[in-house]
Structure 1
Amino acid sequence: MEYLPIFVAAENRRVLVVGGGQVASRKIGLLIRSGAEIHVVAPELCEALRALAEEGSIHWRARAFRDEDLDDAWLVYVATDDPFLQRRVSREAAARRVLVNTVDDRDLCSFIMPAIVDRSPVMVAISTGGTSPVLARRIRDGVERLLPQATARLARFVGRVRDRISESISDFAQRRHFHEWLVDGPVGDALRAGREGEALSRFEQALSDGELISEGMVYVVGAGPGDPELLTLKALQTLQKADVIVHDGLVDPRVLELARRDADFIDVTKRAGYHRLPQERINQLLAELAEAGKVAVRLKGGDPFVFGRGGEEITHLRERGIRYEVVPGITAAVGCAAYAGLPLTHRDHAHSVWLVTAHCRDSVDELDWNDLAHSRQTLAFYMAVKQVGRVQQQLMAHGRDPDTPVAFVEHGCRPEQRVIVGRLGRMAELAREHELQSPSLIYVGEVAALAAELGWYGQVPLVDTDSEALRRVAV
């Protein structure tokens, strides 16, 4: 191990910075947060540092470095591109046994700065021993994605109650178990959800009663439209702590692979004419898992509150007094449109967007077709493959121009994505000719034509040249 990893208490301690440019400014930004007493030696300061000097946040000596500047310093940063000055400061600091960091010259350093993930008071430092700062930043980015922002709130809470736990629980093993419950149980969940009052109440009850109650939890999570990289950070964090994952058939298998390895999976796929479990049974299942003390994730394709029946599920959980959280996802209409190069709104073509479900004849007949048939708006139809003829018929019957562009996005945001662009008058015919399959989104509106030229993901869009306008695009 070339470097000893340590954290230094810098508050009210003298730190010397040699140099007054942008590099020095970046280092000083971190030092100010640590509470250090910062002294800067440089003939000139950049604008940002000059402002800090004027407000008294740093002490500036407007001259060249002198050896006595190192007196009483705990740490030294050399932020100058003058190699002679770098070597001089490093040599003098070593003679005084003062730790020095020379920016971009590891050989002159007695300490190096890691990449930092800051969830103060929790700090994660990542170092490659100075060999590859870029690699250290890449690793930091990965840790950032895995460590919730609420970690800071949780750490501060534990810090406030730590002494009370020690005073109340003398046995070391019992105390450790209480801390584990505090972080992983209902107190930690309440803090992560921003409910500090509830967290304190649950802590007080547990400390008073001496009983740690294992409470289940249900997370209703949106998996996004397909590509696992579109999963939100919070959804990823939730997947990795779930005991059981209750998932739809529309969830990409690559998303399921991101769950913790020992999680159980329950497939509750629902497609037209095929329901592995009815919705009422899914509601009951989620409640039963939570009542058994499990952390359950109800994982849905897209967003759970956009044609995902997430509202019904959390209503059932609330009626049973079960804790839940909702983690939104990128809904299919937005994600698939983006991957097809189809802007849902456009200053020249569409000023509004309608998200419409058309999974059966009854739902189609209940729609307000007079409003849907207006021009200069985008219609995004979910679950409409089997009703495409009915959708076409109703739109045209209520005045939508047969030459209105339409776009089908089949298996959007996945490697097998297919985009077909045509016009409303041939919409049903195109679906038959190309054997359109579920899951597919159907977009109707002037912006649909843009998919023919702006598509960037997957295979080249298929353009039906029956329309003169689309022929020009295809050419």
Structure 2
Amino acid sequence: MIKRKRYYLTGVCMAYNQFRYTVQLNMENQRCVVVGGGNVALRKATSLLKAGAAVTVIAPDILPAIITLQRKFPALTLCQRNYQAGDVSHAFLVVAATDSRTVNEAVVREAAQHHCLVNVADNPEAGNFSVAGTYENDNLLFSVATGGNPRLTHLLLEDLQQQYGDDMAAFAAFLDEQRETVKQRLPNPQARQEFWRNTLTNQLLQQVKAGRLQQTKEIIIHAVNRIGAEP
């Protein structure tokens, strides 16, 4: 699997709980359990599988769309039965996505006993983490949390998508390449920080947004090529 570096260019959080800490988890080969077999479970399982996790879905009734995921993701395991105590004992991350409050509460209790990360799909405050809305475009990943207002989240993500589309994603990938060159030419971290602070400005970002990607790339390349040159 080819790993791509991502630039978390921007995030939007409408503060609703001061005790939240935003992170990006490395989910490669992490054991995850999704309890539930409906549309919500489908979305949760799909996103975890795309992130590289090993996912077990547990539910007496599982959507055909979840079953067919196994063709694309061998790391998906299906258990067509009711949730049982012990199902999440070895999980890193757990999602309770059933339509039964009793079952969801039981999942949360067991996850807490085993110190798992646990999310309740229809009641984020019941677990110890929530999932922000996201928009991903190659090297860019935008996350938006609005305190449980899906419509506002959707609108904000649409706005970000319009502002930072394919050109900005291509620019991020280009910067990743240039970053390696700068690192070789400027071994000192402080010198690199100063270089990027002076070179990569908001004005250049505005140029990319205005459709002048190639012109902006040329400015960066010129600056990189001048590293070490006589003033």
Q: Deviations over 1:117-149 (max 9, x none)?
A: 32343322221333x233333332332332233
Matched, 1:27 2:41: no
- Name the CA shift for 1:37/1:184 in 2 (closer, same or farther; >3 Å): same
Q: Name the TM-score, length of structure 1 as normaliser.
A: 0.39
Q: Distance in 2 between matches of 1:138 and 1:192?
A: 19
* Greater relative CO, 1 or 2 (CA 8 Å, sep 6+): 2
Identity of aligned residues (%): 25
Partner residue of 1:406? none
Partner residue of 1:100? 118
Partner residue of 2:25? 8
Gaps of 5+ in 1: 213-475
Q: Secondary structure at the match of 1:150?
A: helix
Q: How far does residue 113 in structure 1 lie from its aligned partner after superposition?
A: 1.1
Runs of 4+ in 1 over 6 A off after TM superposition: 185-202
Q: How far does residue 24 in structure 1 lie from its aligned partner after superposition?
A: 0.8
- Name the CA shift for 1:29/1:194 in 2 (closer, same or farther; >3 Å): farther
Give the total of aligned pairs: 211
Q: Distance in 2 between matches of 1:189 and 1:108?
A: 41
Q: Given residue 76 of structure 1, which amino acid in structure 2 is its aligned partner?
A: V
Q: Deviations over 1:385-429 (max 9, x none)?
A: xxxxxxxxxxxxxxxxxxxxxxxxxxxxxxxxxxxxxxxxxxxxx
Q: Deviations over 1:12-48 (max 9, x none)?
A: 2111111111111112222222111111112232121
Q: Given residue 226 of structure 2, which amino acid in structure 1 is its aligned partner?
A: D
1:187, 1:200 within 8 Å by CA — same for their partners in 2? no
Q: Distance in 2 between matches of 1:133 and 1:54?
A: 31
Q: Secondary structure at the match of 1:77?
A: strand
Q: Given residue 115 of structure 2, which amino acid in structure 1 is its aligned partner?
A: R
1:186, 1:199 within 8 Å by CA — same for their partners in 2? no
Partner residue of 2:128? 110
Partner residue of 1:84? 102
Q: Deviations over 1:306-346 (max 9, x none)?
A: xxxxxxxxxxxxxxxxxxxxxxxxxxxxxxxxxxxxxxxxx
Q: Distance in 1 between matches of 2:206 and 2:99?
A: 49
Q: Which has the larger radius of gyration?
A: 1
Q: Given residue 164 of structure 1, which amino acid in structure 2 is its aligned partner?
A: T
Q: Which residues in structure 2 correspond to 1:392-411 (within 5 Å)?
A: none
- Name the CA shift for 1:200/1:107 in 2 (closer, same or farther; >3 Å): closer
- Name the CA shift for 1:109/1:179 in 2 (closer, same or farther; >3 Å): same
- Name the CA shift for 1:105/1:190 in 2 (closer, same or farther; >3 Å): closer
Q: Secondary structure at the match of 1:7?
A: coil
Matched, 1:165 2:182: yes
Q: Secondary structure at the match of 2:166?
A: coil
Partner residue of 1:47? 64
Q: How far does residue 208 in structure 1 lie from its aligned partner after superposition?
A: 3.2
2:86, 2:110 within 8 Å by CA — same for their partners in 1? no
Q: Distance in 2 between matches of 1:129 and 1:10?
A: 24
Q: Which residues in structure 2 correspond to 1:41-80 (within 5 Å)?
A: 41-55=58-72, 56-80=74-98
Q: Given residue 71 of structure 1, which amino acid in structure 2 is its aligned partner?
A: S
- Name the CA shift for 1:139/1:208 in 2 (closer, same or farther; >3 Å): closer
Partner residue of 2:192? 175
Gaps of 5+ in 2: 1-17
